[in-house]
A and B are shown apart, each in its own frame.
Chain A
Amino acid sequence: NAGVTQTPKFQVLKTGQSMTLQCAQDMNHEYMSWYRQDPGMGLRLIHYSVGAGITDQGEVPNGYNVSRSTTEDFPLRLLSAAPSQTSVYFCASSYNGRSPLHFGNGTRLTVT
C-alpha cells in the first residue's frame, strides 16, 4: 500500500517551460488536492477535486491546470513556468470530507 505517490521528487525548469507533476493514490480516496509550500507562508491550496471528473480552484490557482480522469490520478500542469512558481508542491488525498488528509512526500520545483 503505497499511499500518495508524487513524481518527480525534484525538478528544475527554465522560465517558459511546461511540465506535469504527477500524483497517484492507491487508497480509493475521493478527495485529492494540490498545495504549494513557500517559506514563511505555510501551505496554500492550488486546486482540488472531490471525485473523478470534478475539479475546482483553490486559493492560488493561476498558472496551473488540473484534471481528474480517474480516481487514482490527479496531475498538476504548469503551462508556462515562472520563477514565482519555485516552491515545494504537495499532493494530498482523503477518503471523504470528514477524513484527514494523507500527503505525498512533495516535489521541490525550481524555476530559473
Chain B
Amino acid sequence: AQTVTQSQPEMSVQEAETVTLSCTYDTSESDYYLFWYKQPPSRQMILVIRQEAYKQQNATENRFSVNFQKAAKSFSLKISDSQLGDAAMYFCAWGIQGAQKLVFGQGTRLTINP
C-alpha cells in the first residue's frame, strides 16, 4: 500500500525567512501526482502546488516551490519570504493518474513568528 510520511509534526519560522517542509512517500507506481495542500484554521483545503512524476522540472508557484527527488521518493515544499498568512497545516498527498484516490500524510503545522 502507498504511504506518505511527513516527519515534522510542527515547524516555525520567522516572517520573511524561508522554510522547508519534508515529505517522503512509498510507491511502486511510476506515473503519479504529488500535491501540497494548505489547511488554515478555517478548515478549508487549499491546493498549494502540484507535481507530475514524469516531469523532471520542479514545480513553482510564486513563493512556493518543491524539490522533487523521484529516486529518493522525496517531495519537499519550500516557502520563501514567509508571510503571516502562510500559517496553517500543510499536507503532502500522493495520487495515481486516473484514479483520484489521494493518500495524505499526517500534516505539518507551520507557525510564522512576526
Contact = CB atoms under 8 A, between A and B. Distances in A.
B99 A97 contact: yes
A97 B101 CA distance: 9
Interface size class on chain B is: 20 to 34
A61 interface: no
A42 B97 contact: no
B101 A45 contact: yes
Chief secondary structure at chain B's binding surface: loop
Nearest to A40: B106
A31 B44 CA distance: 19
A37 B98 CA distance: 23
Contacts of B101: 33, 45, 48, 58
Interface of B: 4, 9, 33, 35, 42-45, 47, 50, 91, 93, 97-107
Given A50-B100, A90-B45, A101-B47, 4 more contacts: A35-B104, A42-B106, A101-B45, A105-B43
